[in-house]
Amino acid sequence: MPERPDQRILVVIPAWNEAKVIASTIAEVLAARPDVDLLVVDDGSGDETAVAAEGAGALVARLPYNLGVGGAMRTGYRYAIREGYDVVVQIDADGQHDPHYLTELVRGLDDADVVVGARFAGAGTYQASGPRRWAMWLLARVLSRLAGVRLTDVTSGFRAANRRAVTVFADHYPAEYLGDTVESLVIALRTGCTVRQLPVEMRPRTVGQASQSPFRATLYLARAVVALGLALVRRWPAATETLGQEKA
């Protein structure tokens, strides 16, 4: 049960070529929380993702070409602002996020502006190794320091944001690699939002696996360092020409 029953919740699912799994993910979310509205942002899919999502009962915003998770999510946040939602929850299309945590995630917004569903935080058994693990450790360490609380899984795409954070994200949600996860948290923190985490158990992806080859993992580490470094020193608010267009 939500703490405030009048609270309007929008679940945003960024989806790129997820036609096979999107319908079951949507059905699961609606089964867990029938009261939420669901927006699937079809990120320029070449398959029938949008049709499948509509068939499963979600609103679908179709991006004309692939923008990446950052672009898809900013579309979602802008929609939320325009339609006056109080809370936006981001869930991956591939079914690795268990929607049963949704209520707890939203309840976490009572004392934070952003709540991240985090692996490594007690629940579940996810393990990473080598450079990927170092990258995650470094990101977690730096962001924990910024946030003032321990964050263990800053690259998680399972998160809830309240009106205050949504307003920030509607204007500034980076499209670069890792921008949608790491940099967006830095932006939230640097604009004075509070970030907390909720331990969640994540399921193995229904289709596909995160790359684990040593080369890819090292590349990931390098990009993580660059993305984090830039996020920390970047002059902010960024010089965007669309700033301030999203007034509630």
Partner 1 sequence: MSSTFTLGIIGGALTLIVLFEMLRRQRLREKYAVIWILVVGISVLLAVFPRLLTGAAALLGVQVPANLLFFGAIMLLLIISIQLSYEIGRLEERTRTLAEEVALLRLTIEQLPVHDLPRPQDGLEDDRDAGEAGPGR
Q: Give 74 or 132: the residue with its C-beta nearer to partner 1.
A: 74
Out of 29, 61, 140, 188, which residue is the one contacting partner 1 (CB under 8 A)?
61
The enclosing H or E element of 11 equals strand 9-15
User: How far, CA to CA in Å, does 8 sit from each of 30, 83, 103, 186, 192?
Assistant: 14, 10, 13, 26, 23
Q: Give 33 or 78: the residue with its C-beta nearer to partner 1.
A: 78
Choose the binding region for partner 1 from 39-47, 119-127, 134-142, 143-151 (rule: CB under 8 A): 39-47
- Give the Cα separation of 136 and 129 in Å (integer): 10
Out of 30, 175, 225, 232, which residue is the one contacting partner 1 (CB under 8 A)?
175
- Name residues contacting partner 1, limited to 143-172 (CB under 8 A): none
Q: Give 42 or 92: the residue with its C-beta nearer to partner 1.
A: 42
DSSP state of 197: E
Q: Give 40 or 109: the residue with its C-beta nearer to partner 1.
A: 40
Rg (C-alpha) for the chain, rounded Å, is 17
Residue 230 binds partner 1, judged by CB under 8 A? no
Q: Which residue in 111, 121, 91 sits closest to 195, CA to CA?
A: 111
- Tell me the per-residue interface mask from 86 to 125 with partner 1, x by CB under 8 A, - otherwise: ----------------------------------------
Burial class (CB in 10 A: 0-12, 13-18, 19+), 20: middle
Find the DSSP H helices in 7-96.
22-32, 49-55, 69-83
Choose the binding region for partner 1 from 108-116, 152-160, 190-198, 240-248 (rule: CB under 8 A): 240-248
Residues that bind partner 1 (CB under 8 A): 41-42, 46, 59-65, 67, 71, 74-75, 78-79, 82, 175, 240-242
